[in-house]
Structure 1
Amino acid sequence: MLQVLYSGQTRELELSGTRRELLAFGQLLRGKAGSCDLSENRHPLPYERSLSEIAFREDPERDTASIVTEDRILRIQGGREALNLLADNIEDFASEADANDHCHVDSPTYDCIAPESDSLVIAFMR
């Protein structure tokens, strides 16, 4: 099961799972709306806490994707093209990365990510 860890101090998130789980999540993001429960990590170091859910929805009024933590939920919303680009990044990482690799997805690096977004790191489950 996927897990998302969060640091309030740095506003950084780590989305991790197996290759298969990350690929499935990328496909899920291609829908209009959805959610998935997350695995809880009781020792999330170096992060502060573990989130319990990812909720996403397409918003045709937006050109970018917003990735924001609200309480224990990771909320992703954005235009279809931006959500597809995010899904592509997750799927490409899951398909091609080495087991110890990670990938940063954030506003300064990707034009499809809204500036108000939390910084997202994609990694394989440790």
Structure 2
Amino acid sequence: MPIQTILVVDDSPTERLALTEVLTAQGYQVVTAENGEDAIAKSIDARPDLILMDVVMPGMNGYQATRKISRNDATSDIPVIICTTKGQETDRIWGMRQGATDYMVKPVNHAELLDRIRALG
């Protein structure tokens, strides 16, 4: 299934805007969320084809939100790419164990991100 709609989850307005601009320029529709709780709700309501998930956010972090999304029957088929400043190998392993499809360390290289999105679609 081709990826058309992407949910961008990040508590930084600057990061949400930057990713939104890159993705919309490539023809993707973008939905945004500011935290983990909002990400879970929007993953159910908007049914995006892909989620780009930050980890360090107030309240529910990105690992927790990824785990809930990947283990919910209604959203378990949505791939999640974690995009975070947490760059240790143990962070990457933990993210993948929560159900992430891929893991990228910020600052995210936009060309590489687009390549990974295309590879999923």
TM-score (norm 1): 0.29
Structure with the larger strand share: 1
Q: Which structure shows the bigger proportion of residues in helix conformation?
A: 2
Higher relative contact order (CA 8 A, sep 6+): 1
